A and B are shown apart, each in its own frame.
Chain A
Amino acid sequence: AQTVTQSQPEMSVQEAETVTLSCTYDTSESDYYLFWYKQPPSRQMILVIRQEAYKQQNATENRFSVNFQKAAKSFSLKISDSQLGDAAMYFCAYRSVLYNNNDMRFGAGTRLTVKP
């Protein structure tokens, strides 16, 4: 079974600085989807960025970008120019591309604090 590991329970960053959140996963599949979700204090889960494994180009969404290392099974999230509103729990998630697989695996999360 696929597992997702986030080794940093907590991270902090100074406002306007850059921070990288780590995520590794274990799978025997060659194609799959990877996601980063943000959960602010409101607890609403918000999709931040997504990547399909067969695409070598790293996904980018404004200040958010990923470093996808397929061989290393690593999927880190970089937040540039951090803002106070970025403070939240961040979850890395893995999903199979198999038609009948409805399982999305989540990591335990990283709590990001942004210091003014």
Chain B
Amino acid sequence: SQTIHQWPATLVQPVGSPLSLECTVEGTSNPNLYWYRQAAGRGLQLLFYSVGIGQISSEVPQNLSASRPQDRQFILSSKKLLLSDSGFYLCAWSVLGGSYNEQFFGPGTRLTVL
């Protein structure tokens, strides 16, 4: 069966520091991968998605970036964090052409920028 992992689970970082969040998927090949941010009490905002290695689409201009160095690995990065980057970050995967194209989510990373 497919599983998705995210780490770290919790992160506290100072303003201006770099960021690297990792997401990996097991049990499937060539998944579509997504990064979402969820602000407190809010819905999900799509940040990036990827349909293959090295292919990244950005949905929201910001100081974050994403990379997909391997088929089942998706990384969210920042060179300098802002206070507004605080939130809950969710990674998700889906299979293009699947019956419903639903997305399956990882456990998330809670990021606090101080």
Contacts and interface: CB of A to CB of B under 8 A. Distances in A.
Judge: A and B partners, yes or no: yes
Given A42-B107, A43-B107, A102-B51, A108 B43 contact: yes
Interface of A: 33, 35, 37, 42-47, 50, 52, 91, 95, 97, 99, 102-104, 106-109
B100 A107 contact: no
Interface residues on B, range: 20 to 34
Contacts of B41: 109
28 contacts: A33-B101, A35-B100, A35-B102, A37-B105, A42-B107, A43-B88, A44-B105, A44-B107, A44-B108, A45-B92, A46-B105, A47-B102, A52-B100, A91-B43, A95-B101, A95-B102, A95-B103, A99-B96, A99-B97, A102-B32, A102-B57, A103-B46, A103-B59, A104-B34, A104-B103, A108-B42, A109-B42, A109-B43
Interface in B31-47: 32, 34, 41-44, 46
A45 B90 CA distance: 9
Interface of B: 32, 34, 41-44, 46, 49, 51, 57, 59, 88, 90, 92, 94, 96-97, 100-105, 107-108, 110
Nearest to B33: A102
A107 B43 contact: yes
A5 to B, nearest CB: 10
B48 to A, nearest CB: 10
10 nearest A-B residue pairs (beta carbon): A45-B105, A106-B43, A108-B43, A106-B44, A102-B49, A43-B108, A50-B100, A33-B100, A44-B107, A109-B43
Contacts of B90: 45
Nearest to A32: B101
Contacts of A106: 43-44
A45 B36 CA distance: 12
